[in-house]
Amino acid sequence: MILPMYIFGQGVLRKHAEDINPDYPNLQELITNMFETLKNAEGVGLAAPQVGLPIRVVVVDLDCISDDEPSYKGFFRTYINGEIIESSDDLVNMEEGCLSIPGIHESVRRPSKVRIKYLDENLNPHDEWIDGFLARVIQHEFDHLEGKMFVDRLSPLRKQMIKKKLLNMSKGKFSCHYKVKSR
Per the structure, the count of domains in the chain is: 1
Please report whether residue 90 resides in a domain.
yes
The predicted structure's pLDDT at residue 74: 97
Which residues are catalytically annotated? 141
> CA 102 to CA 120: how far, in whole Å?
28
Please report whether residue 146 resides in a domain.
yes
The answer to whether residues 12 and 52 touch, using CB atoms and an 8 Å cutoff, is yes
The predicted structure's pLDDT at residue 182: 64
pLDDT tens digits, 15-73: 999 999 999 999 999 999 999 999 999 999 999 999 999 999 999 999 999 999 999 99
Please report whether residue 182 resides in a domain.
no
Please report whether residue 89 resides in a domain.
yes
> CA 90 to CA 87: how far, in whole Å?
9
> CA 50 to CA 46: how far, in whole Å?
7
The predicted structure's pLDDT at residue 183: 65
The predicted structure's pLDDT at residue 154: 97
Please report whether residue 141 resides in a domain.
yes
Query: CATH no. for residue 13?
Result: 3.90.45.10
pLDDT tens digits, 104-161: 999 999 999 999 999 999 999 999 999 999 999 999 999 999 999 999 999 999 999 9
| Full residue range of the structural domain in which residue 74 is found | 5-177
